[in-house]
Structure 1
Amino acid sequence: MEAAQRHPSRTTEAEHRWPAVVGLLAALALYAFLPNELVGGLRFVVVGAGLASLIPLVAVNPHRLIRQTAWSRALSVGLALLLVLANQVTLVLLVFKLVEGRHDAPGLLIAALQVWVANVIGFALLYWDMDRGGPVVRTTWARTELPAADLRFSQDEDEDAVAEVAVRSSAVHDWTPSFIDYFYTSLSNSMAFSASDSMPLSQRMKLLMGLQAFGGFVILALVIARSVSILD
């Protein structure tokens, strides 16, 4: 499989594979160690599917993200969707158990933290795979040919700022968002319950960020309420 031909106008390097892999493995580990009473054997199905999907993706791009086929693109997006959807199911189950109040309270509070962190990583992977055609397209296609952006980062509009700021902009330095940028976007959205680092532009991104913020808010509200009941 040949590497994608980078357009002569692009100077940014292809993104490293490993930050996204580390994030995915961390999310799968968090999911694997959820309490058995919360999700039962479902967690092993999700973890197994995640690891099985990761192997061919790493084989296509073992170091830098320079190759993409229709199946590798579909598999990468599908893997992120699987993680997000599984986490939403787990969130619903967690809500019911926290509301019931008849289960191991400390264990459920730790599980809530696991679900919250896995949610941050899952949405980060989904944003990373969706925006501007994905990581391979973002660094190889001419900017005039890129799919419409789902997110607007500050670097996308800093070219007229002072020199030390403009040097990192998309227009001057050919800056392109990487997994860390999407992870920070996901983290800040889960903590602030709104877009604070980058602004959603498309309707699908607004719906996804709204779903993530709502889930984070529900977890926080129920954890606080459960913690107060334990202290009482």
Structure 2
Amino acid sequence: MALAVAVAMVLTMLLPDTLRLAPRWVLPSVEGLLLLTLIAGDPGRIDRRAAWLRAVSLALVCVLSVGAVWSTLQLVKDIVTNGRETASATSLLQVGSAVWAGTVLAFSLLFFELDGGGPAVRLHRRPAYPALAFPQQIEPRLAPAGWQPRYVDYLYLGLTNATAFSPTDVMPLTPWAKMTMAVQSLVSLVILGLVVARAVNVLT
């Protein structure tokens, strides 16, 4: 999870100024400070259920999500108005890939933080009715007893939802999970569709 946040910070710094919510150093600094606070408050495993740690985790995910959505909106605006960042196919594909990857990471962290009350709660008790049903939960024979999803499982969920534009092996069961996956699918569809269409137009 910490590595995913670090990658998202790097992607934000690589974006052009017109696609960032704030100056180059602002969001990565805020995200880095929140991440360091989490690590200092709960080093190693995420197993503390302190309210302030939960608040810091939610704040970190919110900052990442808002930044990713803002970059997406600005990219769409740039493509529609024939902005400078989309004038060449190379620049467009680089920027589009960075924005798309940022949304995948942001939504994977959002799923990771919201499912079952968060990672600390999931570690101490298995939710009676999960918001996201993984294959290992639907069919217990596929995993050891007491299996719980880890961040890599949510990263896979975010990646497949962003490429298939629909659930694959993980089923959303609650309204928030369904709406969040729907929003990610639409965001990904807009990014990929517009980027590819604009790149083809530039090349031809």
| TM-score scaled by length of structure 2 | 0.93
Q: Distance in 1 between matches of 2:28 and 2:154?
A: 22
Superimposed CA distance per residue, residues 57-112 of structure 1 (whole angstroms, 9 cap, x where no aligned partner): 00122211121211110110121121111111110110011112241433232111
Identity of aligned residues (%): 33
**Which residue does the alignment assign to 2:100?**
116
Does the alignment pair 1:230 with 2:202?
yes
| TM-score scaled by length of structure 1 | 0.82
Q: Distance in 1 between matches of 2:129 and 2:51?
A: 19
Q: Distance in 1 between matches of 2:202 and 2:31?
A: 36
- After superposing on structure 2, the runs of 4+ consecutive aligned residues of structure 1 that deviate more than 4 Å are none
Give 3-state SS (helix, strand or coil) of 2:194's partner.
Answer: helix
Larger-Rg structure: 1
Q: CA offset at residue 147 of structure 1?
A: 6.5
Superimposed CA distance per residue, residues 118-142 of structure 1 (whole angstroms, 9 cap, x where no aligned partner): 111111111001111111111113x
**Which residue does the alignment assign to 1:126?**
110
Q: Distance in 1 between matches of 2:23 and 2:103?
A: 16
Matches within 5 A, 1:13-28: 20-28=1-9
Q: How large is the RMSD of aligned CA atoms in angstroms?
A: 1.6
- Of residues 87, 91, 99, the one that matches 1:107 is 91
Amino acid of the residue matched to residue 58 of structure 1? Answer: I
Q: Structure 2: 5+ residue runs without aligned partners?
A: none
Q: CA offset at residue 43 of structure 1?
A: 4.3
Give 3-state SS (helix, strand or coil) of 2:96's partner.
Answer: helix
- Of residues 204, 207, 217, the one that matches 2:189 is 217
Cα distance change, pair 70–37 in 1 and its aligned pair in 2 (3 A)? same
Is the Cα contact below 8 Å between 2:18 and 2:74 reproduced in 1?
no
Matches within 5 A, 1:60-209: 60-103=41-84, 104-105=87-88, 106-141=90-125, 143=126, 146=127, 148-159=129-140, 166=141, 168=143, 173-209=145-181
- Of residues 37, 44, 48, the one that matches 2:18 is 37
Give 3-state SS (helix, strand or coil) of 1:197's partner.
Answer: coil
Is the Cα contact below 8 Å between 1:184 and 1:197 reproduced in 2?
no
Is the Cα contact below 8 Å between 2:61 and 2:110 reproduced in 1?
yes
Q: Structure 1: 5+ residue runs without aligned partners?
A: 1-19, 160-165
Q: Distance in 1 between matches of 2:42 and 2:20?
A: 33
Give 3-state SS (helix, strand or coil) of 1:177's partner.
Answer: coil
Give 3-state SS (helix, strand or coil) of 2:44's partner.
Answer: coil
Aligned residue pair count: 201
